[in-house]
Amino acid sequence: MAGAGISTPSGIPDFRSPGSGLYDNLQQYNLPYAEAIFEINYFHHNPKPFFALAKELYPGNYQPNLSHYFIRLLHDKGQLLRMYTQNIDGLERMAGIPPKMLVEAHGTFATATCTMCRKEYNGEELRPDIMEGTVPKCPTCKGVIKPDIVFFGEELPPHFFRYLTDFPVADLLIIMGTSLEVEPFASLAGAVRGSVSRLLINRDLVGPFAWGLQRHNDIAELGDVVSGVKKLADALGWMQELEDLMARTTDRALKKNEE
C-alpha cells in the first residue's frame, strides 16, 4: 500500500507534510479550502485550479526512485501479489511494474473522460492543452474533459475491489509513504489476516500504528522512505540487484527520450 510519500524523493510534493505538502501551497488558487482542488463539485464550478495543478504534476517530468524500484524487484522475484497505490504520478508504471500488478486506487492521468458525453480519451491527448494552461474541451460535445483521477465525491475504480480477494491471501503487508487519512483506501491496512505482519515504512506512525492499535506482529521502520527501503533490501541481500535494476531501467528511459 503506497501514498505520496514514496514520490517525494522523486521531487513530487506530498499532500499533508507541514509546509512542503501540496495542501499548504495552494493559496494562489483562492480555493475555499485545499481539498476543493480535487472535489468533483468544485471542478464543475471551476476546473482551472485543477488543470493548473495538473500542469505541475503531469507525468513525464519525474523519475521513479528506489522505493518504486524495490516494488518492481519484488515483482521480478515473484514476491509481489499486488501494489495498491493512491498516487497519480504514474511512477509505478515507469519503474516497470506491469499494470496488471497495480491497483491505482485514486485513478490515473493515463486516460481521461469527457464530463458531458463520457467519451474516453488517451491522457496524452490532453497534454498540449494542459501545458498551455487551457481547459481541455471535447471536440464532440464541447464538454470539459477530465483526467480519470478519482476526485473526492467520485467512486473508486472497480478494480479497487480486487482487495476483496488479494488481502485475505496476502502473507505480508508493506505500507509506504502514506498518512492513511483517506478512506476507503486507508481501511485496507486492517484487511489482512491477524497472523500477517504489517511493515510500515514512513516518516511517522500513521493509521492503526498511531492509534495504539498495533498488532503484536506489526513493525514500523520510521524515517525517510528510501533509507527504510535500503535497510530492507540490505537485510534481503538485494541491494546490488536493486541498484543494477534502477540503473538499467533509468538508462533505458533516457535512451528512449533521446530517440
Q: Would you say 114 or 186 has its CB closer to ligand APR? A: 186
Q: Which range of residues in 55-63, 156-164, 175-183, 238-246 is near ligand APR by CB under 6 A? A: 175-183
Residue nearest to ligand APR (CB): 5
Cβ 92 to ligand APR, closest distance in Å? 13
Maximum CA pair distance of the chain?
Answer: 57
Q: Which three cell numbers stand for residue 126?
A: 490532453
Cβ 259 to ligand APR, closest distance in Å? 32
Active-site residue among 45, 68, 106, 159? Answer: 106
Q: Would you say 37 or 94 has its CB closer to ligand APR? A: 37
Angle value at C-alpha 111, between 108 and 114, nearest 5 degrees: 115
Task: Flag whether 15 is marked binding.
Answer: yes
Task: Flag whether 178 is marked binding.
Answer: yes
Q: Would you say 138 or 188 has its CB closer to ligand APR? A: 188
Q: How many residues of this chain bind ligand APR (CB under 6 A)?
A: 24
- Selected from 182, 210, 232, 236, the binder of ligand APR by CB under 6 A is 182
- The residue ranges that bind ligand APR (CB under 6 A) are 3-5, 8-9, 14-17, 21, 38, 86, 106, 177-179, 181-182, 202-204, 206, 224-225
Residues involved in catalysis: 106
